[in-house]
Amino acid sequence: MDPLPPYTAVVLAGGRAARLGGRAKPQLEVGGRTMLAAVLAAVEDADRRVVVGPAQPVPDDVVLVRERPPGGGPVTALRAGLAEVSTETVAVLAGDLPFLTAALIDELRRNLTSDGTLVVDDTGRDQLLLGIWRTAAVRGAVADASGPTSLRKVFAPLAVHRIRPQPMPGVPPPWLDCDTPADLARARTLADGERPRSPGTVLPRFREPTDPR
């Protein structure tokens, strides 16, 4: 099998998680590590790993950049991340995917036959922050965007190949993200291999993000 071309990983780890009390969502822990750490581990073989978001703990070899203006949304954040990309291929990922795996990243890279390859979840919805793209295609799409807009609109003109992973029974799906306290509680339960809690169970307390200073 021919080796896959090098790639850069751009992880969007900003935004205010209002439904999680405004906490730094990627720094919340699932399964004994932060969600951002799980995403970065899945792309450890990338030529470069770029995290876009506010100051937060990252490994020494990870580039941390901030979108301008801060909190300008995912398109603005992606534009800032792409400025750090020199490879022809880029992974564009959310920072709150605690069950992302290197195997899925490899599968996406192997299936890059158009502008981009992304994951479709079990409801048929495109996971726009779980894909591999031709850098030139994404850079052009972002450059053409003006004013407030969404990633869905920006990516709409691109040719996309979609894959639908089939997780093993009992294995959490790789697209599972954590937007609400209930999402976070479910992810922690799955990571711990426990049975789901019954309705009315008190959700686990949040772990405050580590001070990056």
What are the tens digits of pLDDT across the range 100-142?
999 999 999 999 999 999 999 989 999 999 999 999 999 999 9
In this predicted structure, what is the pLDDT of residue 209? 31
Distance CA 156, CA 213 (A): 40
Q: Cα–Cα distance between 19 and 22 in angstroms, integer?
A: 7
What is the distance between the alpha carbons of residues 142 and 133, in angstroms, rounded to a whole number? 13
pLDDT score at 122: 87
Lowest-pLDDT choice from 59-63, 122-126, 144-148, 205-209: 205-209
pLDDT digits (tens, 9 = 90+) for 165-199: 887 777 888 998 888 888 888 889 988 874 444 33
8-192, superfamily in CATH? Spore Coat Polysaccharide Biosynthesis Protein SpsA; Chain A (3.90.550.10)
- Calculate the average pLDDT of the chain: 85
Q: What is the pLDDT of residue 22?
A: 60
pLDDT band at 204 (very low <50, low <70, confident <90, very high): very low
Q: Comparing C-alpha atoms, which of 111, 2, 91 is closest to residue 42?
A: 91
Other C-beta atoms closer than 10 Å to the C-beta of 55 total 11
pLDDT, one tens digit per residue, over 87-107 is: 999 999 999 999 999 999 999
- Alpha-carbon Rg for the chain, nearest whole angstrom, is 17
Ramachandran bin of 68, using left for φ above 0, alpha for ψ from -120 to 50, beta for the remaining angles = beta
Phi, psi of 93 (to 5 degrees): -135, 150
Contact 153, 142 (CB under 8 A): no
Q: Are 16 and 24 in contact (CB under 8 A)?
A: no
Long-range contacts of 107-112 (CB under 8 A, 24+ apart): 107/163, 107/165, 108/132, 108/163, 109/4, 109/5, 109/7, 110/4, 111/161, 111/163, 112/161
pLDDT at res. 205: 31
- How far apart are the C-alpha atoms of 43 and 12, rounded to whole Å? 14
